[in-house]
Structure 1
Amino acid sequence: MKSERKGTKLFTGAASRRTVLLGASAAAIVAAFDRLGSPAAAQSLNAIKVSEAIHLGMYVSVYAAKHGGFFKKHGLDVAVSSAGGIALALPVVLSGNASFAVTGAGMSVNAVNEGAKVSNIAKVVGGVAMWAVAKPGTKVGGIADFKGKTIATLRFPSSTIQTPTFAMKDRGGFDPEASGVKFLQLPQGAQAQAVLDGRADFATMFEWDVSIAKEKFGLEPVFAFADIIGPLSWTTAMTQKSVIEKDPAMVQAFCDALAEAQAALQTDRELFVKASVAEFPQVAESVIRSAAGNLLDNSTAIPKNPTISKAEWDTDMAFELAGGSIKSARPYEEMVDNSFAEKATAKVGKAG
């Protein structure tokens, strides 16, 4: 899975890198609405477009809202399309060709730094969903164990490089280059083989690549970067402030659907599988089921709700600055409109 999160200017067009519905499954909820019909579903649906950075399993909140019927329940007919890069999703919104962008939160900062009026309205990925994989038996006690090692990554710019670099510098207190860390930059799909043949000690990967490496090559995830980086607003849904002013009901409906989907994903593993199989038919279901464990049980990647906290925003700003995705940070109070996500989360809580 490609990721591009290194400081490319947003408008250049150049691709740069990147409670719970207790006691009821999402399938049962959707079936109930299908049988009984809701007022929103009975009305004509509001067709909107969502521009995502690239097609990634960790964006499953959006896919679950679509395939689980939550967008439809709230009166939305949502079309999701990949922009082809982390810096490319928001310009689609700014041009008026989509209502929401789903991409790295830093891209909203770059846009505002260049004069756009944008707000982050929901959290889509709440943690660094990246692992280091290695041969079975490899022991990693902490980030310092990467000193002097070779790590297979995607080609620069990529968060497969940015994430370990940030973790080493900010959490480990050492400079990768000065500590003998080498990044072996390879095309998509070549990282696992580099570990197998000994050219690299580790490979840094997203899902589905982690589970594919395990199933196809016998490699094991040995280190979760989320464990030391912690929760952050890694990927958000964002929109123009003019869209919020013009159609707040549509924004609320979008957040309501996300909140219900995220809550349902925590209790219904089959919703994850259903939505992911629909979006990634080329990925084996066994891989998807394995990835569900990593994304839902072993990381904070899939949020329990779409609210964005100040602490999550501040951590992401530090991450983006360290990796070069942004040149300067902007404050939470300016960049986040949490009101829609808060209302949506409260509704789910009452429903539960």
Structure 2
Amino acid sequence: MKKLIAAVATVSMMLVFLVACNTNGTVSVSLAEVTRSLFYAPQYVALEKGFFEEEGLDVELQTTWGGDTTMTALLSDGADIALVGSETSIYVYAQDSRDYAINFAQLTQTDGTFLVSKEPRPDFNWEDLKNSNFLGQRVGGMPQMVGEFVLKKHGIDPHRDLNLSQNVDFANIPSAFSSGDYEYVQLFEPTASVFEKEGTGHIVASFGEESGKVPYTVFMAKQSFLNENEETVQKFTNAVYKAQQWVQEHSAEEIAEVIHPYFEDTEIDMLAASIDRYKQQGSFAEDPVLDEEEWENLKDIMDEAGELPTDVPYEELVNTKFAEEVLSN
């Protein structure tokens, strides 16, 4: 995030997407997702089931691969709306941005990573991690901060009690774990289940269950965009809520069938198993409201990791107007 402002200027000159009306009367919205993840299943349901189209929106999805690049795209008008960890809005706010990012609709409400061991550990205990070779996530990102929060909760100092590595890019973490001498790693689905099926790794714990509810992945937009496009944002939030309800009401197998086009390299039964794991631990938010208790938990996790740049009040970066409107109707 420290290089964010400079990067914004560069991207601004490269690419600009603006909300515009198409000839058929629909409104175009560019959406940037921080990564392609099964964790975002409700978003893909909204796209595939036509919920955005029902609201008169033509949503163009782009994957921007990483928190820094996603926020750069958003702040430079390279995207109208971003799906990214809510911690990024705090980083931007702390840089004294005049038009900062506002969280308006929550998609996931727990951490989405699982602790994976290279060897079977049927009687796993958190103490087993001490002195192990642990492949961690990027410094300052939610997976790493939640990981540290959970480890400390179990009396483990990740920087003293582990042989912690954090020098591998997010996209390369799975291959680095399988080919390296690491004993433990944090992985998202479906990678964790794929590793377990192949015998490459074994899921021994869930960071989502251990850390409690947190606004892990949220739709956000610049304050100016919210002010100037209230109707569009409301329609977008309506579609998200339709998808959230659909996910709650349908089986993991049905969800997997719908979103399979976004994960063509993964078998449907594996997608279903991963989705079921997320559904069982309540990872998918049931509605788009980001409540204050979750926001405070986020700040506690960031503070514990030494990554909270400033204590941002809930009312400053969270706008629940659109989410509450869709619930009231």
- TM-score past 0.5 threshold: yes
CA-CA distance at 1:12 after TM superposition: 4.3
| DSSP-derived class of the 1:189 partner | helix
For the 8 Å contact 1:153–1:191, the answer to whether it is kept is: no
CA-CA distance at 1:144 after TM superposition: 4.0
CA-CA distance at 1:150 after TM superposition: 2.5
| DSSP-derived class of the 2:174 partner | coil
Overall identity of the aligned pairs, in % = 21
CA-CA distance at 1:9 after TM superposition: 4.6
Equivalent residue, structure 1, for 2:50: 69
TM-score normalised over the length of structure 1: 0.79
Counterpart of 2:7, as a letter, is: G
* Cα distance change on mapping 1:301 and 1:13 into 2, 3 Å: farther
Work out which of the residue numbers 119, 140, 145 in structure 1 matches 2:124: 140
* Cα distance change on mapping 1:290 and 1:245 into 2, 3 Å: same
Work out which of the residue numbers 156, 159, 163 in structure 2 matches 1:177: 159
For the 8 Å contact 1:10–1:110, the answer to whether it is kept is: no
- Rounded to whole Å, the distance in 1 between the matches of 2:226 and 2:62 is 21
Work out which of the residue numbers 188, 201, 217 in structure 2 matches 1:219: 201
* In the alignment, structure 1 residue 247 sits paired with structure 2 residue 229: yes
- Rounded to whole Å, the distance in 1 between the matches of 2:62 and 2:47 is 13
* In the alignment, structure 1 residue 50 sits paired with structure 2 residue 35: no
Q: Which ranges of 4 or more aligned residues in structure 1 deviate by more than 6 Å?
A: none
| DSSP-derived class of the 1:204 partner | strand
- Rounded to whole Å, the distance in 1 between the matches of 2:77 and 2:121 is 51
- Rounded to whole Å, the distance in 1 between the matches of 2:92 and 2:74 is 11
* Cα distance change on mapping 1:53 and 1:97 into 2, 3 Å: same
More displaced 10-residue stretch of structure 1: 281-290 or 244-253: 281-290
Work out which of the residue numbers 131, 138, 149 in structure 1 matches 2:132: 149
Equivalent residue, structure 2, for 1:331: 313
Equivalent residue, structure 1, for 2:300: 318
CA-CA distance at 1:193 after TM superposition: 2.5
| DSSP-derived class of the 1:65 partner | helix
Counterpart of 2:175, as a letter, is: A
Work out which of the residue numbers 1, 4, 11 in structure 2 matches 1:10: 4
* Cα distance change on mapping 1:73 and 1:55 into 2, 3 Å: same
- Rounded to whole Å, the distance in 2 between the matches of 1:217 and 1:8 is 39
Alignment of 1:1-352 (within 5 A): 8-13=2-7, 44-113=25-94, 114-115=96-97, 116-134=99-117, 135-141=119-125, 143-153=126-136, 161-169=144-152, 171-178=153-160, 180-184=161-165, 187-193=172-178, 199-217=181-199, 219-269=201-251, 270-297=253-280, 299-347=281-329
Counterpart of 2:183, as a letter, is: D
Counterpart of 2:110, as a letter, is: G
Q: String of CA shifts for 1:213-248, please: whole Å, max 9, x gaps.
A: 112226331101122210000111111121121121
- Rounded to whole Å, the distance in 1 between the matches of 2:206 and 2:279 is 13
| DSSP-derived class of the 2:35 partner | coil
For the 8 Å contact 2:101–2:317, the answer to whether it is kept is: yes
For the 8 Å contact 2:110–2:209, the answer to whether it is kept is: no
For the 8 Å contact 2:174–2:187, the answer to whether it is kept is: no
CA-CA distance at 1:191 after TM superposition: 5.0
Equivalenced residue count is 306
- Rounded to whole Å, the distance in 1 between the matches of 2:4 and 2:307 is 10
More displaced 10-residue stretch of structure 1: 249-258 or 43-52: 43-52
- Rounded to whole Å, the distance in 2 between the matches of 1:105 and 1:71 is 23
Counterpart of 1:226, as a letter, is: G
Equivalent residue, structure 2, for 1:33: none
For the 8 Å contact 2:178–2:200, the answer to whether it is kept is: no
- Rounded to whole Å, the distance in 1 between the matches of 2:249 and 2:83 is 24
CA-CA distance at 1:111 after TM superposition: 1.7
- Rounded to whole Å, the distance in 1 between the matches of 2:250 and 2:322 is 24
Counterpart of 1:255, as a letter, is: T
* Cα distance change on mapping 1:260 and 1:271 into 2, 3 Å: farther
- Rounded to whole Å, the distance in 2 between the matches of 1:84 and 1:218 is 25
TM-score normalised over the length of structure 2: 0.84
